[in-house]
């Protein structure tokens, strides 16, 4: 496992989290925000996909287009916990804010929204939509003490689109090439790209130890590198515990586990023993051994990506607030925060 380079002392302020659907990227983004929000640090957790995933994970009401204090972070070495704030970014609200800031269209902008112009503009031009979404993140990263009545953040975590779209989503200049060659939108895109391609940004990829997600992670890394975007850490999620030692694992794979020993162990535990129970346990052990062999082969593929890697365990009981804190602690212990 390669050590992460985005932890304490790094220059990274914007953490972009992506991954194939079903790998738990939103969970990892939330855990990373909790890990970074320690020792009095303020962290903003953003989402841009319209799913209200943050609200569901933290069991709060759906988030508006407004920064809200969400939770306490993981206590730091000094015992102090920082604060995690959350923001649900939608393109329509971002465009209204943009029109108000750059063109002073307050009520007029809302009138456009009522007539459906806002929705039309953000749907017909995906490049503009992505500039608006990333532009709001850019503003949060660059905010400083001169911004009155606004929270200044030590780090921003973006729960981004899946790996299949991440390069297109972040490479806003390329997407705008045929739409805006000058003007405020082009200027904002240039500013966003300067941040995204700088050492202040890291794009983290979440995967599980299965062939398709690992291959999509490898493809995503290649696309990000081709676009000049900085790849951060590969987070291997939902790692199964090693329930069997190496010798027993090999025996389970070969079907040579000792039935007598299993029967004796069950009897010692005062459990009913019959052939059907032992056969079922042997089948489960074989399936576990096959699964572990597949996972170990994919772990080798991940290692060959030559990227900092961290691992998070599979939670048998699902992911709740306690599990998120456990994940946050694991990310920090492995140097990611």
- Structural domains in the chain? 14-243+303-332 (3.40.50.300), 246-287 (no CATH)
- What angle do the packed helices 275-304 and 259-268 form, to 10 degrees? 110
Distance CA(32)–CA(160), nearest Å, equals: 13
149-162: pLDDT as tens digits: 789 999 999 999 99
pLDDT at 30 over 60: yes
- 155 forms beta bridges with 43
- Running DSSP on this structure, what letter comes out for residue 243? -
Distance CA(43)–CA(32), nearest Å, equals: 10
Segment (H or E) for 201: strand 201-207
pLDDT band for position 316 (cuts 50, 70, 90): confident
Name the residue among 236, 229, 120, 245 with its Cα closest to residue 169. Answer: 229
Name the residue among 132, 163, 147 with its Cα closest to residue 28. Answer: 163
Name the residue among 49, 71, 53 with its Cα closest to residue 62. Answer: 53
pLDDT at 289 over 70: yes
Give every CB contact of residue 195 below 8 A, 6+ residues apart in sequence: 14, 138, 141, 142, 201
- Running DSSP on this structure, what letter comes out for residue 153? -
Please tell me which residue, 123 or 83, carries the higher pLDDT value. 83
State if pTM tops 0.75.
yes
Distance CA(266)–CA(276), nearest Å, equals: 13
């Amino acid at each position: 496992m390669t050590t992460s380079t985005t932890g304490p002392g790094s220059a990274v302020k914007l953490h972009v989290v992506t991954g194939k659907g079903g790998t738990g990227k939103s969970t990892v983004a939330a855990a990373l925000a909790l890990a970074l929000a320690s020792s009095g640090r303020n962290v903003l957790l953003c989402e841009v996909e319209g799913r209200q995933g943050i609200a569901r994970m933290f069991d709060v009401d759906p988030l508006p287009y407004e920064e809200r204090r969400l939770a306490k972070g993981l206590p730091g070495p000094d015992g102090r916990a920082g604060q995690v704030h959350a923001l649900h970014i939608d393109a329509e609200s971002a465009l209204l804010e943009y029109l108000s800031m750059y063109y002073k269209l307050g009520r007029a902008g809302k009138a456009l929204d009522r007539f459906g112009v806002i929705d039309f503009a953000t749907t017909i031009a995906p490049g503009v939509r992505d500039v608006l979404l990333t532009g709001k993140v850019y503003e949060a990263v660059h905010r400083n003490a001169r911004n009155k009545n606004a929270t200044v953040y030590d780090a921003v975590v973006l729960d981004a689109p899946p790996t299949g779209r991440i390069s297109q989503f972040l490479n806003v200049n390329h997407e705008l090439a045929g739409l805006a060659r000058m003007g405020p939108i082009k200027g904002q895109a240039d500013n966003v790209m300067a941040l995204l391609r700088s050492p202040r940004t890291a794009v983290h990829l979440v995967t599980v130890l299965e062939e398709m997600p690992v291959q999509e992670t490898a493809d995503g890394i290649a696309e990000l590198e081709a676009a000049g975007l900085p790849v951060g850490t590969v987070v291997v999620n939902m790692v199964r515990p090693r329930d069997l030692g190496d010798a027993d694992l090999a025996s389970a794979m070969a079907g040579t586990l000792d039935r007598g020993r299993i029967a004796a162990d069950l009897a010692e535990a005062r459990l009913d023993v019959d052939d059907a129970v032992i056969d079922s346990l042997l089948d489960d052990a074989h399936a576990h051994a096959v699964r572990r062999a597949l996972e170990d082969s994919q772990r080798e593929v991940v290692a060959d990506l030559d990227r900092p890697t961290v691992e998070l365990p599979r939670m048998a009981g699902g992911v709740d607030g306690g599990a998120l804190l456990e994940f946050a602690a694991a990310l920090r212990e492995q140097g990611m925060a």
